[in-house]
Structure 1
Amino acid sequence: MKPTRTSKAWMREHVNDPFVKKAKLEGYRSRASYKLMEIDDRDKLIVPGSSVVDLGATPGGWSQVAKERLKGRGRVVAIDILPMVPIQGVDFLEGDFNDPHIRQLLKERLPSPQIDLVLSDLAPNISGVALYDQARATELWVAALEFAVQCLKPNGQFLVKVFHGIDFEDFVRLMRAVFITVQTRKPAASRDRSTEVYLLGKTLREDAQSALDRYLGAE
């Protein structure tokens, strides 16, 4: 299939992106590594000795950063529907996170029933139909949040990529109902024209599960 003008423009932008060039030079698998680095430099999410889950991990940029910053102490468990070239010290599960069976397998791989940090870079394949794509993205945000509520320690943290759109404000309200602190991050490696931002939830509320159940019951 002949490349479109839009795809050619995207490729030029991608190839010339300074973070893409930097990732190649420094051995990171994606420019997304620098998004997590910047957020972690600010918020100190990844602490040696902690347990980290990376949702939507492929090609592995975030898992690389998490593994490095654990400094040999702690555990990274990662999942993606796409295959990922192995990273030494990262336990990777290939499967669809939306599949309850796969999600149970992921839980069984956790180093303990309660973990310190859930990272979610989950995003659906884009169809080009805005409302459909937004609905599928929201489904993934909520699934990641549900997993975090079930698996995080009370003082755990949850970092999730979201996109501005019709469901954004509702999801922010849900995050605030679940976490005591919710902050927005827009790292420099996130392109200005992109609607993506990152929501960081810190410390689960005592009624976090009830708040989530009420939301899911109202859908």
Structure 2
Amino acid sequence: MAKTPGRNTSGRGQRDLKVKVRTAKGRKLSSTRWLERQLNDPYVQRAKREGYRGRAAYKILELDDRFRFLVPGARVVDLGCAPGGWLQVAVERVNALGTKPGKRVGRLLGIDLQEVEPLAGAEVHVLDFLEDGADDKVKAWLGGQADVVMSDMAAASSGHKQTDHLRIITLCEHAAFFAFDVLAPGGTFVAKVLAGGAEGELMHLLKKNFTKVHNVKPPASRSDSSEKFVVALGFRGRDADTRDARPGD
């Protein structure tokens, strides 16, 4: 079980020394730079200390600290949940294990295309959320509608910035339409996007279906990344105008 984050366990007065990585034979320069960045990333180090499955856990922690959507008793669906860092955060915050006396017990469902290491307090299924009937399966597993649908999914990188941007925006749009099918009125949708100029239609779609929509870059997102997150609050319900064509229609 992950420790409660936020406490500095490194000790004061210690000097952080930057780790230099030499380029090994057969290793690309880009791989060396990635390894060096990982070794020097404070969020990577903190995740190891606190028992999270990856630095991405701090992104959802920071978003929830600001917008408070992972509340005790909430029913949450995590799309593309591997390796499980967001699930770890949600288990504690929605009280999925019932460890907070007097608080409602939440329900947590993780969905991914690949097997995910089991996590106490979360139910994880291998499922393509784009397949026909996926929304009905999720609602059946969840025992009703969701209060939160969240996604840290990213399309496979092509190496071409604009192409990758369009791919992740399309993926986010698919996730949004899935959320329209499973969210209860008043629910929340959180998803990763990449800045790049094609977000307009997505934001228009979300603003029609939610009372408040925020475009946020949490501190845990690397400063040199174009990654941002949309946080859409107050789902208007299935009777709202969701008639925009789904991506690919």
Please give the TM-score of this superposition, normalised by the length of structure 2.
0.80
Q: Alignment partner for residue 65 of structure 2, among 29, 41, 56?
A: 41
Q: Alignment partner for residue 21 of structure 1, among 45, 63, 74?
A: 45
Task: Tell me the secondary structure at the aligned position of residue 243 of structure 2.
Answer: helix
Task: Give the structure 2 partner of residue 177 of structure 1.
Answer: 208
Amino acid at match of 1:24: K
| Map 1:90-169 → 2, pairs under 5 A | 90-112=122-144, 114-169=145-200
- Structure (1 or 2) with the greater helix fraction: 1
Amino acid at match of 1:213: R
The offset of 1:101, in angstroms, is: 4.9
The offset of 1:34, in angstroms, is: 0.7
Q: Distance in 2 between matches of 1:138 and 1:131?
A: 11
Q: Distance in 2 between matches of 1:35 and 1:131?
A: 24
The offset of 1:207, in angstroms, is: 6.9
Q: Distance in 2 between matches of 1:104 and 1:169?
A: 29
Q: Distance in 1 between matches of 2:76 and 2:140?
A: 14
Q: CA RMSD in A?
A: 2.1
Q: Distance in 2 between matches of 1:201 and 1:12?
A: 35
Determine whether 1:192 maps to 2:231. no
Task: Give the structure 2 partner of residue 89 of structure 1.
Answer: 121
Amino acid at match of 2:34: W
Determine whether 1:214 maps to 2:210. no
Q: Distance in 1 between matches of 2:183 and 2:88?
A: 21
Which structure: larger Rg? 2
Tell me if the contact between 1:149 and 1:208 (Cα under 8 Å) persists in the aligned partners: no
The offset of 1:106, in angstroms, is: 2.8
Task: Give the structure 1 partner of residue 22 of structure 2.
Answer: none
Count the aligned residue pairs. 217
Change (3 A) 1:136 1:14: same
Change (3 A) 1:85 1:207: closer
Tell me if the contact between 2:78 and 2:87 (Cα under 8 Å) persists in the aligned partners: yes
Change (3 A) 1:59 1:131: same
Task: Give the structure 2 partner of residue 58 of structure 1.
Answer: 82
Which structure 1 segments of 5+ residues have no match? none
* Residues 192-213 of structure 1: per-residue CA shift (max 9 Å, x gap): 0111111111112357653x32
Q: Distance in 2 between matches of 1:135 and 1:59?
A: 24
Tell me if the contact between 1:98 and 1:140 (Cα under 8 Å) persists in the aligned partners: no
Amino acid at match of 1:110: L
